């Protein structure tokens, strides 16, 4: 059974494999991370852990029983009880309810452990899977906006009520 885990130093090899294996899949719907991301992965991973230690963000991985990363769910730009939610799921794990379960779990952590009161998210209009995940997990639309040069939509979720 997949498990949501807070990002740790020992996740680096499995996370890098996840990003490499799914690079083309992710680039089809969001901006590609670029070659520098992979070339400088170890330094980037250390920087994320340092940033997480400050409380400015909370990074999570969805890990299967063999240690393989199936997805990521992140809370970034934490400020004044609010954060932005972002997530990506491996091609082979998509469409199985994994994202919905992980987003629900992170929303619960956000409210109970991290003390947040609301979350924001954005996705492109044509990303029906992501829109479905957000709507199934209690996010409501806030209006259309541009996402990386594409038509998109914003969402918000109140964690207090």
Backbone angles phi, psi at 147, to 5 degrees: -125, 105
This prediction has a pTM of 0.92
What is the pLDDT, as a whole number, of residue 118? 98
Q: In the Cβ-directed half-sphere of 100, how many Cα atoms lie within 13 Å?
A: 12
Residue 42 has a pLDDT of 94
Quote the pLDDT of residue 148.
78
**Residue 79: helix, strand or coil by DSSP?**
strand
Of 114, 47, 64, 63, which is closest to residue 85 (Cα–Cα)? 114
Query: Is the pLDDT reported for residue 3 higher than 80?
Result: yes
Backbone angles phi and psi of 28, in degrees to 5: -70, -20
pLDDT attached to residue 130: 92
Q: What is the pLDDT of residues 94-132, one digit of tens each?
A: 999 999 999 999 999 999 999 999 999 999 898 899 999
**For residues 42 and 61, is the Cβ–Cβ distance under 8 A?**
no
Whole-number pLDDT of residue 149:
82
- Predicted confidence at residue 45, as pLDDT, reads 96
Strands 150-158 and 3-6: unpaired
**Which domains are present in the chain?**
3-158 (3.40.630.30)
Distance CA 154, CA 160 (A): 19
């Amino acid at each position: 059974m997949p498990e949501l885990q807070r990002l740790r130093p020992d996740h680096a090899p499995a996370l890098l494999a996840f990003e490499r294996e799914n690079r083309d899949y992710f680039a089809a719907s969001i901006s590609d991370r670029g070659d520098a991301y992979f070339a400088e992965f170890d330094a980037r991973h250390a920087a994320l852990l340092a940033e997480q230690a400050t409380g400015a963000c909370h990074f999570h991985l969805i890990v299967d029983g063999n240690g393989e990363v199936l997805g990521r769910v992140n809370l970034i730009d934490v400020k004044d009880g609010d954060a932005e939610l972002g997530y990506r799921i491996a091609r082979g794990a998509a469409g199985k309810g994994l994202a919905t379960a992980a987003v629900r779990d992170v929303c619960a952590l956000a409210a109970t452990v991290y003390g947040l009161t609301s979350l924001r998210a954005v996705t492109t209009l044509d990303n029906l899977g992501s829109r479905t995940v957000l709507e199934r997990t209690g996010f409501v639309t806030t209006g259309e906006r541009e996402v990386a040069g594409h038509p998109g939509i914003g969402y918000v979720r109140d964690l207090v009520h």
